Chains A and B, each alone.
Chain A
Amino acid sequence: MIPQIKISHYIYGLTLLFLLSLPLYAESDFVVAVMPDGLSGSALLHVGILIFMFAYLSSSWNILGGFAGQLSLGHAAFFGIGAYTSSLIYVHTGVSPWIGMIAGAVIAAIVGYGLGFISFKYGLKGPFFALVTIAFAEILRLLFLYFDFTGGPLGLLIPLSSEYTFWEYQFLEKEPYYFIALGLMVFGIIICAIVSSSKFGYYLRAIRESEEAAEALGIHSMHNKMHAVALSAAMTALGGTFYAQYTQYIVPDDVIKIALSIEIILFAVIGGSGLVMGPIIGTFLLVPIGEMSRIVFEGGGAGASLVALINEEIPSGEKFIRYLEYLSSGGGGGLAILLYGVILILVCLALPRGVLPAFHKIGMKREGSS
């Protein structure tokens, strides 16, 4: 067991060095030549930022969903709380989003405690906890759409600051965002590693395996689960602030949507939930696949309307050809998520513990044979 961990540590270290140095040559001729069109320079950094952010969010989810085994399908709610708290504070008072980030995390933690308290007090488990988290996220999204102070359906535009400094959390180039996102991901890994090897982590895993057995051993399952929700929520909120500062514009239908909650889970489960590096591996495998499909089928059904096509007065043969053209231009979009869905099903069927344990197995076989 020990030699494998060492090898994987080298691989992780080298990957981190590579990622740290990537902005230096993201625009070099070599990268432009090797990567497909539209995936070099700042576009490449953008994909990097997405990967780091989702890896971080999946890691945050992993504490609750992976270690503690409480399936939350509403983590976008905490993401939204983070994004809106820092942005509202910045818009109204001009206080640095860095401070707002912490405020958002605190609020998310309090909300997480509340949600955990209510859900676990009434003994919600498995699918019922998942349903309540979905309902909670939907309620929050609808409320944010309804109220005026959040900008409602128009969203919240983060005003440009006069100067681009670190303290203002706004930058012209992608590089600073890239390094902040990378830092967040490393932070997420460290927190997960600490939790994983701490007493708290062992408690959570015991609760995941059998709540009754854990209780019998004297573990207060409700307290520990509530701590897990709060920690997971607070970390997710930090990611929300980053997203708000990166895109400079947030709207409830974008930051609190169910699709986001599900994406966060996908990466963690496919990589290997309950493992420190599982969500990271999952994100690094899946986001590039998703982004590639977006680039290959760019646009996504640009201009063509299905109803208009059906009602057009042309022979059905021609209609069919037009429809095929529509599909080959990306149809109505959604291919990336469709791919994710297929991969999720395949992983559940073939590798229910995720991809990372499968890697470990292969590594172990090699060790054995050499």
Chain B
Amino acid sequence: MATVYLQALISGILIGGVFSLISVGLTLTFGVMKIKNFAHGDFLIVGMYFAFFCYTLLGIDPYLAAILGLPIFFGLGWIIQKFLIRPVLYAPETIKILVTVGISLCLQNIAVFFFSPDFQTVQVAYGSNTVEFFGARISLTRLAATALAVVVVIGLYQFLMKTRTGRAIRACAEDGDGALAVGIDIDRIYKIALGISTVCVCLAGAMMTPFFYISPTVGLSFTLTAFVVVVLGGLGNLKGALIGGFIIGVVESFGEILMPEAALKQVATFTIFTLILLFRPTGLFGTKLT
């Protein structure tokens, strides 16, 4: 019995890393420009399909594809910020949300149109390799995804803390007008912020392909998860998103073993999400971009 719980704990931590990486992207745009990006999860499919086509057409390993795709992922965020988000930055809240809903519809249905709504998978040779850990099995691809996710998040944190651009991003998160007053090009910072945000999600998507199915609508549940993590970790708080991702991963994983009926697992997950949103423990880790 202990093995079951250990297994659940490990599975939760392994998926939690992916949640963290996705949520960090959301919390960054949340903190810097107060955009609630409902298309956030849908950027996952950009990374997924990129890795899928690199693998099936060119034989490129998904992990290599994830790195090769970085400029594309960043450019996509940059362009979307420049042409779609920037014009509505000072519009009413509903309009801001609906633009991102529109982006979500476009991303999903571009994928449906060009790549068909069928489920796809990337079957790499090492896909089913596992290691034993006190009787629990750890999937190597999941372990790699989580480890890489944590590395990326720590790297991003260092970037925000140590570099000039990073400090400028934090300044914008703190006070946009103030940042403008001291001569920071906030337009450019916003573009960089959304670029980094899409890079985080797309990386997560590409790294998930060895163990996760690919379909145009896979993003929605991740959008929800990311919002819950961001709310739990404190709006705009990177550390909070990192820790929150692992908490949600483990909670979801334990919810699954406590729910005997397979069909009710997802219900449990959504119910937990709703409860977290309702009781919003904002400030669990504070809301500063630190």
**A interface list, Cβ under 8 A from B:** 69, 71, 73, 118-119, 122, 124, 126-128, 130-132, 134-136, 138-139, 142-143, 145-146, 258, 262, 265, 269, 273, 301, 304-307, 310-311, 327, 330-335, 337-338, 340-342, 344-345, 348-349, 352
Contacts and interface: CB of A to CB of B under 8 A. Distances in A.
Contacts of B161: none
Nearest to A139: B270
B113 to A, nearest CB: 4
Contacts of B220: 258
B19 interface: no
Contacts of B224: 131, 134-135, 138
Contacts, number: 148
Contacts of B4: none
Given A334-B108, A345-B106, A352-B91, A122 B101 contact: no
B271 A139 contact: yes
Interface in B230-264: 231, 261, 263-264
A273 B92 CA distance: 13
B137 interface: no
B105 A262 contact: yes
Interface string B204-231: 0000000000001000100010010001
Contact of A305 (B98, B116, B216, B274): B116
A314 to B, nearest CB: 14
Interface SS of B by simple majority: helix
Interface string B97-124: 1110111111011101111111010000
Contacts of B38: 127, 130
Interface stretch (B60-68, B142-150, B193-201, B277-285): B277-285
A70 B270 CA distance: 21
Contact of A146 (B92, B101, B112, B261): B261
Given A146-B263, A352-B95, 7 more contacts: A132-B274, A138-B224, A262-B101, A306-B116, A348-B98, A349-B87, A352-B91
Contacts of A143: 267
Contact of B105 (A130, A131, A333, A340): A340
Contacts of B95: 348, 352
24 contacts: A69-B94, A71-B97, A119-B278, A126-B93, A130-B38, A135-B274, A139-B271, A269-B94, A301-B116, A327-B113, A332-B113, A334-B108, A334-B112, A334-B117, A335-B113, A337-B108, A338-B106, A338-B110, A341-B102, A342-B106, A344-B99, A344-B105, A345-B106, A348-B102
